[in-house]
Amino acid sequence: NTVTTDNHITTRGSDWYFAVTAIMAVSTIAFMGLSFTKPRSQRLFHYITAAITLVAAIAYFSMGSNLGWTAIQVEFPRSNPKVAGDFRQIFYVRYIDWFVTTPLLLLDLLLTCGLPTPTIIYTILMDEIMIITGLVGALVKSSYKWGYFVFGCVAFFFVAYTVVFEGRAHARALGQDIAKVYTVCGVWTIFLWFLYPIAWGVSEGGNVIPSDSEAVFYGILDILAKPVFGALLLWGHRNIDIARLGL
Ligand code: RET
């Protein structure tokens, strides 16, 4: 079970993972620090957001340490012989991170627009189906992996529908300032989340790009979707009393 060098992260890939670890860790400290500027009753969004970057920091520490992965046999990619190899490194720890953090990201967003609890619960359930089908698909070596990918995309459709249509309508009803922070964070989320299945398709799915490129692709997405999203959200909440959201 040898992993060819081209399908395995290099020292530079590992350094990049550690750089992202540092960004996530510093963001966690910053979000917790910012929570002290608010009374205890107003810190919910700080806690959720800090938990997201904390979990990511640990996942990135694992990947930088070359842990949390397994070798999966791949078919020879004719489109790009440079990445040809018998095995590809699949970082399953990414999915453990996403299983915890994507529901928290949705909570940040859907609590901001005051959606009813049943809607939030079913949207998070769809999100969990999306992540788990992505994980199983990544670990499957045959082309059945694309079946899981399709299930994941269908689940993602429901998540996107809630964020784009239901969430926007509820946010508007809560007032202009809330609608504004919801729109900024919602558009940011949907735009970025659409890029994840593309990254999956060329990495775990089609084995088109090597593991170092995968590290950069997902890494940039994670920085934008977690610390940058969190900063936008907390900034948007700075003058909003969470009692207005029913919290
Ligand atoms: C997978 C593959 C299956 C189909 C779809 C996917 C979408 C994943 C998404 C992940 C978002 C992750 C975030 C992480 C934290 O920053 C699982 C790749 C649709 C949208 C935001």
* Ligand 1 nearest atom to the CA of residue 148, by list position: 3
Q: How far is the CA of 193 from the centre of ligand 1 (A)?
A: 6
Confidence of residue 2 (pLDDT cuts 50, 70, 90): very low
Contact 152 CB / ligand 1 (< 6 Å) = yes
Length of the chain in terms of residues written = 247
**pLDDT tens-digit profile of 158-186?**
999 999 999 999 999 999 999 999 999 99
CA distances from 98 to 18, 21, 134 (A): 18, 15, 10
Query: Any bridge partners for residue 72, and if so which?
Result: 88
Pairing of strands 70-73, 87-90: antiparallel
Q: Can you give the pLDDT at residue 52?
A: 98
Contact 127 CB / ligand 1 (< 6 Å) = no
Confidence of residue 73 (pLDDT cuts 50, 70, 90): confident
Token reading at 48: 């959720």
| Average pLDDT score, the chain | 93
**pTM, 2 dp:** 0.94
pLDDT at 76 over 60: no
Contact 179 CB / ligand 1 (< 6 Å) = no
CB-based contacts of 53, cutoff 8 Å, min separation 6:
24, 25, 27, 28, 31, 226, 227, 230
Q: Can you give the pLDDT at residue 3?
A: 44
Handedness of CA 59, 60, 61, 66 (dihedral sign): positive
Q: How far is the CA of 192 from the centre of ligand 1 (A)?
A: 9
* Residue 132: count of CB within 10 angstroms of its CB: 17
Q: Which among 9, 5, 2 has a CA at the least distance from the CA of 213? A: 9
pLDDT at 79 over 80: no
**pLDDT tens-digit profile of 183-232?**
999 999 999 999 999 999 999 999 888 899 999 999 999 999 999 999 99
Contact 88 CB / ligand 1 (< 6 Å) = no
- Which protein residue's CA is at the shortest distance from atom 16 of ligand 1? 222
